Amino acid sequence: MEQQQQSESIKQSIMFSHKVAQLSKALWKSIEKDWQCWIKPYDLNINEHHILLIAYQLEGASISDIAKFGVMHVSTAFNFSKKLEERGLLTFSKRQKDKRNTYVFLTKEGESLLIETLETYNPAEYGVYSGSLPIKELYGKFPEFSELMSIVKHIYGPDFISIFEESLSKIETEFKEVDGKLVSLENSKQEMKSS
């Protein structure tokens, strides 16, 4: 009986792993294509854009933070951050309280570029968004991914999910939607002052 339970467990484990692998790979392929098309006009690649997002969300991030929350190797985080620094989009510095780690911060140009990418995002052009619309139409909301978030939390830890949720909150509080487009509240205030 124990042998049968173990073999069923292995079979279920393989089937589960296969489902996750196949679905994740298919989903990532679509996301990767969408993301590359979105940021191509800004001469950015996915890692660079992701680093800009993380530096924005964390208001300065260590290379270790970028690697962890960007799900990339430390050398990848550092090398692409250096490229962004060379373009004048990031700066590197040490903190008074933490001289061991190097932190990256968005420059004004980096923040402006990132905000511009967010403001030009058009969901109708992206497969994952379009593929989610039938669920939204059926249930009145987009998928919540609570089970998936639980899996990720157990793999990467609660800090990962915390930063993820903070990033969503930051977008929620620092941007508004105007005529179907995302607009930075900061840019909106500046436009009001100049008019």
What are the structural domain ranges in the chain?
A: 34-194
pLDDT for residue 5: 61
> Pick from 28, 50, 29, 30: which is nearest to 39 by CA?
50
pLDDT of residue 189: 57
pLDDT at 94: 81
H or E element that contains 92: strand 90-95
What whole-number distance in Å separates Cα of residue 94 and Cα of residue 77?
17
Asked if residues 149 and 156 have their Cβ atoms less than 8 Å apart, the reply is no
| Residue range 34-194 in CATH 3.90.1150.10 | no
- pTM, two decimals, is 0.83
> What is the residue-level pLDDT of the chain in tens, covering all 195 positions?
566 666 668 888 999 999 999 999 999 999 999 999 999 999 999 999 999 999 999 988 999 999 999 999 999 999 999 999 999 999 998 877 777 888 999 999 999 999 999 999 988 888 989 999 999 999 999 988 899 899 999 999 999 998 888 888 888 888 888 887 888 887 655 555 555
Instruction: Evaluate whether 181 touches 119 at the Cβ level (below 8 Å).
Output: yes
Encoded tokens for 148: 């998936």
Residue 107, sorted as left (phi over 0), alpha (psi -120 to 50) or beta, turns out to be beta
Q: Give me the phi and psi of 101, to 5 degrees please.
A: -100, 145
Task: Determine the length of the chain.
Answer: 195
**At a CB cut-off of 8 Å and minimum separation 6, what does 80 contact?**
45, 47, 48, 51
Q: Strand, helix or coil at 101? A: strand
At residue 108, the pLDDT reads: 96
In which element (H, E) is residue 14 found? helix 2-39
Q: Give pLDDT, residue 122.
A: 87
Q: Compute the distance between CA of residue 117 and CA of residue 42 in angstroms, rounded to an integer.
A: 8
**Positions of E strands within 107-180:** 175-178
* Placement of tokens 């001289």 in the chain: 99
